[in-house]
Amino acid sequence: MIPGAFEYHRPQSVTEAVALLAKLGPEARALAGGHSLIPLMKTRLAAPDHLIDLARIAALKGIRREGETIVIGAMTTEHEIVASKLLGETLPILIETALLIADPQVRYMGTIGGNAANGDPGNDMPAVLQCLNATYRLTGPKGERSVAARAYYKGAYDTARAPDEILTAIAVPLPPSRAGWAYEKLKRKTGDFATAAAAVLLTMSGGRCASASVALTNVADRPLFAEAAGKALVGTTLDKPALDGAAKAASAIADPASDLHGPAEYRKAMAGVMARRAIERAKARAKG
């Protein structure tokens, strides 16, 4: 399959890339790792006139700590996330998640920025970043702004990012070191998108849950921050009634389509099951 013809641009800086997007208009697309966009172009579901390749912009790479925040450059690949010592020490949930994305070859090319920015409801990082209360840094012709991951997604491929903006970095607040975390993904086979998946981050204090956030992947036209599911856990000992309540709350907001992953009713039920399993694993990892 051969994509439609396009002109190729390789800016060296974010400023240059944003200027190109503004100049070339809506028929220009930014190219990150390409593992969502190129398959769409091969099937002609996307046919941009211009591709702006972000791969050579050094400022978009790398993972660093800024005070109590971990900042991940948008062009950091899933492979680099898996290999990151800093993330291993601070945000291992991102490594657990990255290892569940596609396969090794895709992880060498696919980027966290592309995964987060694109708005594909099947992508795994958005719900995890919502769970972690991450912030997306966007740069456009008018300068830089930040949008919370929990406010970024409007629908399938419909996001708060304007067409002339580029996601440059993802800022994740450092979770407390005693926090428990887990990403549970039900998939039919290695490399598949989730039938349903859930991310959980929680803290315990004196045997009771002090804080909890839950978010869901691929059970709606966008990632879902399951606020009620988190609230159902706070103040409890994470006993069975609390888990039942949270799983029910997670399932209640799921609104999946019936597709090759299974019927809608099944996927809705699995949203609750994944939330329950993620809470159980997070509980086992939490200290306090």
Partner 1 sequence: MAKSHVTMTINGAEVEALVEPRTLLIHFLREEVNLTGAHIGCDTSHCGACTVDLDGKSVKSCTVFAVQADGAKILTVEGVANADGTLSAVQEGFRMMHGLQCGYCTPGMILRATRLLQENPNPSEEEIRFGIAGNLCRCTGYMNIVKAIQYAAAKINGQPFQEAAQ
Binding site for partner 1 (CB under 8 A): 1-8, 10, 31, 34-35, 38-39, 41-42, 51, 53, 55, 79, 102-106, 108-109, 190-191
Q: How many Cβ atoms sit within 10 Å of the Cβ of residue 7?
A: 12
Judged by beta carbon, residue 189 or residue 240, the one nearer partner 1 is: 189
Cβ atoms of 171 and 70 within 8 Å: the answer is: yes
> Minimum distance from CB of 190 to partner 1 (Å)?
4
Minimum distance from residue 255 beta carbon to partner 1 (Å)? 28
Q: Which is nearer to partner 1, 39 or 288 (CB)?
A: 39
Are 31 and 111 in contact by the 8 Å Cβ rule? The answer is no
Shortest Å, Cβ 7 to partner 1: 6
Cβ proximity to partner 1: between 99 and 284 the closer is: 99
Residue number with CB closer to partner 1 (49 or 227)? 49
Kindly write down the DSSP assignment for every residue of 182-202, as one continuous string: EEEEE-SSTTPPPSEEEEEEE
Contact, 140 vs 166, CB < 8 A? yes
Least distance in angstroms from the C-beta of 4 to partner 1: 7
Cβ nearer to partner 1, comparing 88 with 235: 88
In which residue are the tokens 């708005």 written?
Answer: 119
From CA 287, how far away is CA 277, in angstroms rounded?
A: 18
Nearest distance in Å: CB 32, partner 1: 11
**Residue 155 in tokens:** 């629908």
